[in-house]
Structure 1
Amino acid sequence: MDFSFSAEDEAFRARARTWLAERLDGAGAPFADLCTDVGPTELDPDRRRSWEQELGAGGWIGLGWSEGALTRQVVWAEEYARARGPAPLGIVGEHLLAPTLLRFGSRAQRERFLPPIAAGTEIWCQGYSEPGAGSDLAAVRTGARRETGAADADWLVTGQKTWTSLSQWADWCFVLARTEPGSHRHHGLSLLLLPMDQPDRIEVRPIRQLDGASEFSEVFFDGARAAAADVLGAPGDGWRVAMALLSFERGAGMLGRQIGYAREFEAVLATAVRTGAVGDPVLRERLTRQWADLHALRCNALRTLGTAEPGSAAVAKLLWGGWHQRLGELALAVLGPAGATAPGPHLPGRYPLTADQHRLLFSRADTVYGGSDQVQRNLIAERVLRLPREPRPQPAAAPTNQDPRPDQP
């Protein structure tokens, strides 16, 4: 297959590379301080907002929203990764919500929400996972009801979401909630769009990790308001909309992610050469396999890009999650005993980590978030290979009360 880009795409690549270099490359670049290996939560959130708006002013947000712009989205993602661009604050709005709005949203919703996302002025977070409803997303218990029961009344949302990235900075959240009382599993769900600036009704509690950072939070809703018009798709059709949204998570941005993975791999390889670990035949074989697998991942992503091939998103998630996890393990293996030592003195409330140590620990989540490996394998088996469904536990039968003395031995 021909995986090359057109002359127009390459001209676009040159323009993107120049624009990024002017702002990120070198001591005099205005946003060079954001190109760092520290976690995104350690960066100044105001600086990250300024960068988001710089991207918006340059017209770089929303490249994949129009027909025929897919290759340009890929080119931009690759160049952004090569330039070590900071993790954008607007990634949830641009890559998850916006494509879903274009597919399911009303004209009024598109006109209201897309321009601020494109300008980088409104940041979104995703209200999906809950305690007891992570990989099993259909078990969500967060509920929403009409304030007065009228069809045009606001929704009042009550419940809890967890592992919510960006919530401490987000202006808006899309929330999967149960809007039909008594509904079960995939039925009776709706995707609601609600503002986060509701201090008496929304509480955000950052989740502190072992290293002291807080990359995500718990979010508690106590009658939080969502306007009647801010249901994405039809009320009760939230599961279909939510699943479509998740499919956008593994599109063109995956190719940009692989450029970042390639840079990480090159750093691990350089460390192996410096430490002499490359002379170990076992480690050398692992490095070679890691390199070959990365190229296979890229070819597969290009092959399925922009297609509706069944299960392609699940396959991609399954492959790259395991690849990145193995890279984290390999990064410390080439360091030997030095990989287990802290890089500096312990700081109050923080545990110092090297970039390799952080990569190893964070990569443990790669096979869980966005749908665990077990969920992806079930999707492939049942929906693509048409294998028999895995047995599900049956709910307990209701008591019949036929025994006139049920409490007696």
Structure 2
Amino acid sequence: MEFGFTGEDEAFRAEARAWLAAHAGGAQDRRSWERTLGAAGWIGLGWSEPGYGNRTATLTQQVAWAEEYARSPAPPRSGHIGENLLAPTLIAHGTDQQKARFLPPVAAGAELWCQGYSEPNAGSDLAGVRTAAVREPREPYYRITGQKVWTSRAHEADWCFVLARTDPGSRRHHGLSFLLVPMDQPGRIEVRPIRQMTGTSDFNEVFFDGARARVEHSVGGEGNGWRVAMSLLGFERGVSTLAQQIGFAEELGRVVRTALDTGAADDPVVRDRLVRQWAELRVMRWNALRTLGGSGDPGAPSVAKLLWAGWHQRLGELAMLVRGAAASAGPADWSPAVPYELDAFQHLFLFSRADTIYGGSDQVQRTIIAERVLGLPREPKG
């Protein structure tokens, strides 16, 4: 497979690098940064339709942008869910009115989104969702009652796309709808941060108590939520995987340098593990390029998730190993009264414990590969 960059791609890369160099260093808060990106047209490069305030780019140019962004000092993106998950789903399944209402604010960085899928009893098994949406008989609204969990960025989102059960007598993937819900509904929506081992709270619980969603904001029509939701998951892993790998390479580089500094690299077992991490990262890149090149493999997203989740978790373990006993200690001036910040390796180790769970657990990814690629019998449902 040929996956090269043309002269036009390199010119695009140079433009992206120059723009990021001029703007990324002075970025303020993440919401303001989204608006800065939107004003310059950098949001929505991969959308199949232009005209919503976004510029479009070829696949190789999208890769160039993602790589340059990962190398820049720009802050982590807050608009990823709206840009890379909701927008392609609306383009594929939304009405003209829905696209006209929601795509321009996403492209401008003016509205942020979160995803209302997982529930306490329906995490990896999305077909078991219980959040209910009841149609108001004399009003153009659904009223939503239920709970979502592990909702990334819900504490700052303006909107949430919610998978809810609109047919009370339905089971499993039948009777579900994909609803667009405004988050600014005091008394009807409550967001509770989930404190993680790292001390941060990137994930949240979201409680809906009669929250409203307009009937015309049902994407794909009532009862078709499962089809829309599964389509969205197909957009979840793409060009961003390559940018993620640049971050992985930088983390691996720091681990290697630390191993040399501490003398841990003198151990042949440690050296072998470092080489394996490097080789596996190269394999992940080649697999990602193969997938972007149009392999047509329905299991490709699951294979990619299995590869990077396990790799990153092993890197966290290796980072602690090469640091030695110092990896388990806090700062010298630590006091029980004052929580301390984790250093980079401690954060990597603790956060990566969740890599094989969030975004679809390893078990779910293997089930998808078994059933959809290998054609094995479906796993019995308890």
Q: TM-score, normalised by structure 1?
A: 0.88
2:203 is aligned with 1:207: no
- Alignment partner of 2:40 out of 58, 76, 83: 58
**Aligned-pair CA distance for 1:210:** 3.4
Paired residue type of 1:205:
R
1:189 matches 2:181: no
SS at match of 1:158: strand
Which residue of structure 1 aligns with residue 225 of structure 2?
A: 238
Report the secondary structure of 2:342's partner residue.
coil
- After superposition, give the CA deviation of every residue in 1:139-168 in whole Å (9 maximum; x if it has no partner): 1110001011x6x72111100011111111
Of the structure 1 ranges 342-351 and 123-132, higher mean CA displacement relative to structure 2 is found in: 342-351
Q: Give the superposition deviation at 1:338.
A: 1.0
Match of 2:30, as an amino acid?
Answer: R
**Contact 2:241–2:288 (Cα < 8 Å) also in 1:** yes
1:244 Cα offset (Å): 1.1
Read off the aligned partner of 2:299 and give its amino acid letter: G
- Out of 17, 31, 47, the position equivalent to 1:49 is 31
Local SS of the residue matching 1:214: coil
Secondary structure at the aligned position of 1:135 is classed as coil
1:324 to 306, 309, 312: 312
**1:327 counterpart SS class:** helix
Letter in 2 for 1:138: A
Corresponding residue number in structure 2 for 1:131: 120
Does residue 15 of structure 1 match 2:15? Answer: yes
* CA distance in 1: counterparts of 2:110 and 2:311, whole angstroms: 34
Aligned counterparts of 1:73 and 1:347: Cα–Cα separation in 2? 47
| Deviates most, 204-213 or 315-324 | 204-213
Distance in 1 of aligned mates of 2:73 and 2:264: 27
Aligned counterparts of 2:189 and 2:315: Cα–Cα separation in 1: 38
Letter in 2 for 1:313: P
Match of 1:228 in 2: 215
Once the 2 structures are TM-superposed, how far is the Cα of residue 345 of structure 1 from its aligned partner?
A: 2.0
Structural mapping, 1:81-120, within 5 Å: 81-120=70-109
Gaps of 5+ in 1: 35-46, 394-409
State how far apart, in whole Å, the 1-side matches of 2:70 and 2:322 are.
24
Shift of the alpha carbon at 1:380?
Answer: 0.4
Cα distance change on mapping 1:122 and 1:298 into 2, 3 Å:
same
Hey, what's the Cα distance between the residues in 2 that align with 1:292 and 1:359? Answer: 20
Corresponding residue number in structure 1 for 2:370: 381
Q: Give the aligned residue type for 1:70.
A: L
The match for 2:238 among 251, 262, 275 is 251
1:182 Cα deviation from its structure 2 partner: 1.3
Structure 1 residue 3 corresponds to structure 2 residue 6: no
Deviates more, 1:340-349 or 1:134-143: 340-349
Q: Counterpart of 1:222 in 2: which secondary structure?
A: strand
Q: Indicate the SS of the match to 1:350.
A: coil
- Match of 1:263, SS? helix
Q: CA RMSD in A?
A: 1.5
CA shift in 2, pair 1:84/1:269, >3 Å: farther
2:54 corresponds to which residue? Answer: none
Check conservation: 2:152, 2:203, Cα contact below 8 A.
yes
* Preserved CA contact (<8 Å) 2:82 2:113: yes
- CA separation of 1:389 and 1:298: change in aligned 2, threshold 3 A: same
**Alpha-carbon distance, 1:349 to partner:** 6.9
Residue 284 of structure 2 is matched in structure 1 by: 297
Stretch of structure 1 that moved more, 129-138 or 69-78: 69-78
Matched, 1:266 2:253: yes
Q: Which residue of 2 aligns with 1:396?
A: none
TM-score of the two chains, using structure 2 as the length reference: 0.94
Unaligned runs of 5+ in 2: 50-56
Q: Matched residues, percent identical?
A: 64
Deviation string 1:64-86 (CA, Å, 9 cap, x unpaired) is 00376222221111111111421
**Bigger CA drift: 203-212 or 183-192?**
203-212
Give 2:35's aligned amino acid: Q
What corresponds to 1:142 in structure 2?
Answer: 131
Does 2:282 match 1:311?
A: no
Q: How far apart are residue 351 of structure 1 and its match? A: 4.5
- Distance in 2 (alpha carbons) for counterparts of 1:363 and 1:84: 22
Which protein has the larger Cα radius of gyration, Structure 1 or Structure 2? 1
Q: Give the 3 Å change call, closer, same or farther, for CA 261–121 of structure 1 in structure 2.
A: same
What is the CA distance between 1:111 and its match in structure 2? 0.7
How many pairs were matched up? 373
